[in-house]
Structure 1
């Protein structure tokens, strides 16, 4: 699939030169910093040396004082407190963080994760009934609740107070809870708006520590859980999130909680430095698999485990769930690709909408993302749940999926989400009309550029700029993530030394050794899923390459390697 290379603005040359001189780096590095909004020595120092002292005062968040006071009152009165969270990674880590912290100090606490299939996302009536039947008079919702207006009213009728900790956009009306902590509230002056749901819970713990005289360091014991939520929920790793992720990764690598240590061992990550990508691709999916295939309660049981035996038992169950999930989503993806391949109209559409009543509800979002890897366009994958068709939608860069779904809202029973991901439910007999209407709307509003994958390029460099000093500075840009992605470089007119070869079980990857401009320095590179370029490269054809730089460890030896993102053969 052809990709568009889009070069970022390198920044004002005078600012780049000034910053390069001020912090003693080359202009390529300075340009990367300016692209990230860093233009002064002090900003660079704060970026390269994150400090927990830079965390904001939790009491800057609206309702924080009320929330802390209500929890403190509950503890003094001996009330039972229930921590209620969504079934994904952000929700389960948030519940685990809060439950673990308070369990050490107060015995009358419990947790509740709604069932993905019977209750769905957010605060449910069943969850409120559970709280009532089990004597909980205070519920703290985490990563959900900002739109639970009716459920909070229902709880109030049963003498249950709610504290809401959420990070999603509120609707026109804020629920009538005791306190609503959400930095995205229009009336909240908290300086950073992009916390994860677990991050909002962490701020509540910080506030509680301040109020009750607990040493602030006690809240930092849970930063590994918070780093997992930040990475998995794909929130921007900038500002306060950068500090939290930096120290969370430090704890994850040096002294993880028992539950996370178990996942690290099961995922085969014990012998390496764990980064954001490891969380996104190896740790997060295992936690998510519990909610997809079994119950989110299983994830909390693991993350809050108090002994190695129970941690390993639950960890093994979760790993089994993850293996089941991989098998199911792979099978459904293949089936979905066959459906598209056998339908000429669908092959040439600007959108994909597929429905199969037998598909597993827990993996349809993953399948939608996988289909976009082959057919790059807005995609909806539906299955049957009860009497309704329900599913997930995913978008492509720059296209507002939510608006497209909203344009068909008269056909839907329910929908929610944002620009790039959404969930939706409709009557089964509406599916065909939805397919037609959705395709019509997408065709009118999407541009040809949006239907071509885009690679954002940070800078054009010569290969000989890549050395240990350059990479050592680049490494300090970590942790990478939204808002601070790993820099992508382009080098032009490179050739393979002739050592290039096909690798992988199906010879689907390219292992290259690159040179440029007759320079004798050689650079190892790996190009996944790019076997089609082997022949022209093998026969000496020059090409332009875009890539990221990383350290490759093999047999105890560490070398710099280029991870190729795309290749353009010179014609």
Structure 2
């Protein structure tokens, strides 16, 4: 485990809470997130936030929604073209659900990951045309598809691109809905692909004079995509996610509800954590290993037998994905240790690892070594590698790789993640260039390659009350841009094995018992931290714990539990 730097933030004694009825500890956390105005605090904590924007503020929305409406009224064939990840799957389902209320001339297309790759492709556009398409609406892709958009128009089809990825200098010659494009005045630029599809649905709902309930009923899909695509959970994303989670927890979507029941989440309050780590991966797995259509079909299905069969398929795909992923991760870890232990930018050839899991492996390797990471694997084309990358805080992987654009066959992404294809013989040069860039970045900012955790406050165990935990729950949903606030409990005496024990199948987790909490002994749990304790800390007599207090519910009983994010040997011993 990479040693982390603890950065103390928002805990100075000079902080004076505002007399607004909000807990001072919560105010400190919000201050650290840049939320200082009382009205902003109340909006952030509200179960019914109001922060959302007029869809017609988005560049081309008036023209795009008018064009879609025209095709609906003329009973023309509309095709939704999306990506094979959760964002793309949910975006397709969202527009299929919404537009299906007003037309039966609605179809969709998802490329196969292994055979077609990400985004629009000319063969698919020709196939869609042959099936009678009049209008293509892309979701979660298309911002760089210049030749594909030109082909669609040359074949007599209109095309509207809805996307959230970065645009290239040369833009497709068609209507584009993307708040990142030049000249777009939309106030919030960080929607996921499904968020932009939802804004199109909002615009159409207004033009059609349709009841708002038809928007409320697709908010669950928006929540699924917003969390799974790891966009910042702030501003309008936070608003839409809160309402979307309410929708998921009052389920009306048969397929999603059946999946929730089938994977052991029935009866639980579904949170962003459940979406990100349990639900989302099931939808992703189908697109990674098989055909992402299964995910769309499950989200749209109503027939019990079809729902059950599709759910079984997604669960089987996810189980297979885990196995392949674990094998690939172990292969890549060994390669880093043997061949690239000192590289600042990890570029790893994973051999024949299934391309559907290389993005996950890139993220895991990034977390283990805290280095920006690219994982490549053999493509179906001779001499071509497909790759996926994940970055660390402060290093824009898209802009970094853009400087080596001459090496790529295909390349796209954003600051945190990227995808590309490259000729195999050019990989060593790419590795050399990226490590040279990383060295230059480190020279300017030495701390960028050291993982840091922000400390939001210091708590004595007796200060961790049920009321405080309930107040902290108001800061949810947590995710990128709204990370869990971490608190320090210092100088906790421990002895092994009376207070401290190792748990889990491989004894990989750590449990600390007997912490004197506000209402009796409290437990602290550190998942995956056993090795850290043994290797890095050397079994000290006292620990400083950095983590987050939450409720643990088991067999109808509720207790407070401190979830450990990191631990260090206590410097001060009473």
TM-score of the aligned structures, taking structure 2 as reference length: 0.93
TM-fit CA distance, 1:50 = 4.3
Q: CA 1:451–1:42 in structure 2 vs 1: closer, same or farther (change >3 Å)?
A: closer
Conservation of the 8 A alpha-carbon contact between 2:167 and 2:180: yes
Residue 528 (structure 1) aligns with: 527
In 2, the alpha carbon distance for the partners of 1:534 and 1:158 equals 65
Superposed CA offset, 1:320-356 (max 9, x none): 111111111111111222223333xx22322322224
Q: Of 79, 83, 86, which aligns to 1:82? A: 79
Residue 171 (structure 1) aligns with: 168
1:5 aligns with 2:2: no
Residue 250 (structure 1) aligns with: 246
Residue 423 (structure 1) aligns with: 419
For the residue of structure 2 that corresponds to 1:382, the secondary structure is strand
In 2, the alpha carbon distance for the partners of 1:155 and 1:519 equals 66
Residue 360 (structure 1) aligns with: 354
Q: CA 1:24–1:137 in structure 2 vs 1: closer, same or farther (change >3 Å)?
A: closer
In 2, the alpha carbon distance for the partners of 1:312 and 1:86 equals 24
Residue 513 (structure 2) aligns with: 513
Conservation of the 8 A alpha-carbon contact between 2:228 and 2:280: yes
Q: Of 101, 112, 115, which aligns to 2:109? A: 112
Q: Of 406, 410, 414, which aligns to 1:410? A: 406
TM-fit CA distance, 1:504 = 1.1
Residue 390 (structure 2) aligns with: 394
1:558 aligns with 2:558: yes
Q: CA 1:13–1:239 in structure 2 vs 1: closer, same or farther (change >3 Å)?
A: farther
For the residue of structure 2 that corresponds to 1:215, the secondary structure is coil
Superposed CA offset, 1:387-406 (max 9, x none): 20221122222223334433
Which runs of structure 2 are paired with 1:536-547 in the superposition (5 Å)?
Answer: 541-547=541-547
For the residue of structure 2 that corresponds to 1:559, the secondary structure is strand
Q: CA 1:111–1:545 in structure 2 vs 1: closer, same or farther (change >3 Å)?
A: same
Residue 454 (structure 2) aligns with: 456
In 1, the alpha carbon distance for the partners of 2:311 and 2:518 equals 51
1:200 aligns with 2:199: no
Residue 500 (structure 1) aligns with: 500
TM-fit CA distance, 1:198 = 0.6
Conservation of the 8 A alpha-carbon contact between 1:379 and 1:395: yes
1:276 aligns with 2:277: no
Of structures 1 and 2, the one scoring higher in RCO (CA 8 A, sep 6+) is 2
Q: CA 1:407–1:185 in structure 2 vs 1: closer, same or farther (change >3 Å)?
A: closer
1:489 aligns with 2:483: no
TM-fit CA distance, 1:462 = 2.1
Residue 301 (structure 2) aligns with: 305
Residue 31 (structure 1) aligns with: 28
Conservation of the 8 A alpha-carbon contact between 1:397 and 1:454: no
For the residue of structure 1 that corresponds to 2:211, the secondary structure is coil
Conservation of the 8 A alpha-carbon contact between 1:494 and 1:514: no
In 2, the alpha carbon distance for the partners of 1:326 and 1:246 equals 29
In 2, the alpha carbon distance for the partners of 1:443 and 1:372 equals 17
Superposed CA offset, 1:351-380 (max 9, x none): 322224422111111112222233221222
For the residue of structure 2 that corresponds to 1:234, the secondary structure is coil
In 1, the alpha carbon distance for the partners of 2:349 and 2:539 equals 46
Aligned length: 563
Q: CA 1:537–1:159 in structure 2 vs 1: closer, same or farther (change >3 Å)?
A: closer
In 2, the alpha carbon distance for the partners of 1:52 and 1:131 equals 41
Superposed CA offset, 1:16-59 (max 9, x none): 42x2x12242x222111222333233222222224365432222
Q: CA RMSD in A?
A: 2.3
TM-score of the aligned structures, taking structure 1 as reference length: 0.93
> Which stretch has the larger CA shift, 446-455 or 96-105?
446-455
> Which stretch has the larger CA shift, 291-300 or 440-449?
440-449
Q: CA 1:166–1:536 in structure 2 vs 1: closer, same or farther (change >3 Å)?
A: closer
For the residue of structure 2 that corresponds to 1:336, the secondary structure is helix
Long gaps (5+) in structure 1: none
> Which stretch has the larger CA shift, 366-375 or 143-152?
366-375
TM-fit CA distance, 1:381 = 1.4
Q: CA 1:83–1:32 in structure 2 vs 1: closer, same or farther (change >3 Å)?
A: same
Conservation of the 8 A alpha-carbon contact between 1:500 and 1:538: no
Superposed CA offset, 1:393-438 (max 9, x none): 2222222333443343333323222333222222122223333333
Residue 210 (structure 1) aligns with: 206
Residue 439 (structure 2) aligns with: 443
Conservation of the 8 A alpha-carbon contact between 1:230 and 1:245: yes
1:380 aligns with 2:374: yes
Long gaps (5+) in structure 2: none
Superposed CA offset, 1:264-300 (max 9, x none): 1232111211100110010111101111101111211
Conservation of the 8 A alpha-carbon contact between 1:510 and 1:534: no
1:328 aligns with 2:324: yes
In 1, the alpha carbon distance for the partners of 2:476 and 2:31 equals 16
For the residue of structure 1 that corresponds to 2:374, the secondary structure is strand
